[in-house]
């Protein structure tokens, strides 16, 4: 296999990372969806608010690397489950702030150690040197991907609302 010069789908970095994510996430997803009634996205948002504190939905979307509309729907669901509070921002009543309820904090405290153990199990096959190299590689790859996103012009934009085969494409003027 060659990450440097991929010739097949299973040699692409994102494919391999996606497969790793799917496999390593499955037990955790069963845990928080089946055991606690929250989706992966909801758990992610609860975790981010637990670690970063109260913030606006827009800031939460940015920190979570999710579209604002998806975060808004998840916030509504988390509020209805009693895990989040949505309040007007103190300095601007038109803006909202979201924060965890006591129940949301308890959810985070209950789930995080279990998810951390699952993560430790997956990375536990690596030696200390391999783990350090992997962490260093993740930092470098993330920085490279961030630079790619910031510097690559978008010629075709996703239009998922149109269906799986349609897309919006910029066409040259005739």
Q: Which residue has the higher pLDDT, 154 or 1?
A: 154
pLDDT in tens, 47-92: 999 999 999 999 999 999 999 999 999 999 999 999 999 998 777 7
**Does some domain include residue 174?**
no
Question: What pLDDT was estimated at residue 154?
Answer: 77
Contact 98, 85 (CB under 8 A): yes
Given a cut of 80, whether residue 16 has pLDDT beyond it is yes
DSSP the chain: --SSS--SGGGSHHHHHHHHHHHHHHHHHIIIIIIT---HHHHHHHHHHHHH-SB-HHHHHHHHT--HHHHHHHHHHHHHTTSEEEEEETTEEEEEEEEE-HHHHHHHHHHHHHHHHHHHHHHTTS-HHHHHHHHHHHHHHHHHHHHHHHHSPPSEE--GGG-SS--EE-----
**Does some domain include residue 112?**
yes
**Does some domain include residue 35?**
yes
Given a cut of 80, whether residue 35 has pLDDT beyond it is yes
Range 119-124 average pLDDT = 96
Q: 83: domain CATH number? A: 1.10.10.10
Domain that includes residue 72, residue range: 9-169
Structural domains in the chain (count):
1
Distance CA 159, CA 120 (A): 37
**Does some domain include residue 4?**
no
**Does some domain include residue 61?**
yes
Q: Which residue has the higher pLDDT, 93 or 145?
A: 145
**Does some domain include residue 3?**
no
């Amino acid at each position: 296999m060659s990450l440097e010069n991929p010739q097949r789908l299973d040699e692409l970095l994102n494919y391999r990372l996606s497969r790793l994510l799917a496999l390593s996430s499955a037990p955790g997803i069963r845990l928080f969806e089946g055991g606690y009634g929250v989706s992966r996205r909801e758990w992610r948002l609860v975790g981010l608010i637990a670690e970063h504190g109260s913030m606006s939905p827009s800031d939460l979307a940015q920190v979570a690397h999710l579209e604002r509309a998806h975060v808004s729907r998840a916030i509504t669901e988390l509020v209805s489950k009693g895990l989040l509070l949505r309040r007007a921002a103190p300095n601007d009543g038109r803006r909202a702030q979201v924060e965890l309820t006591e129940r949301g904090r308890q959810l985070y405290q209950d789930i995080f150690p279990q998810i951390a153990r699952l993560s430790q199990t997956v990375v536990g096959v690596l030696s200390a040197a391999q783990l350090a190299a992997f962490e260093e590689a993740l930092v470098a790859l993330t920085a490279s991907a961030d630079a790619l996103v910031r510097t690559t012009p978008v010629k075709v934009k996703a239009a998922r609302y149109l269906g799986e085969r349609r897309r919006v494409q910029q066409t040259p003027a005739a």
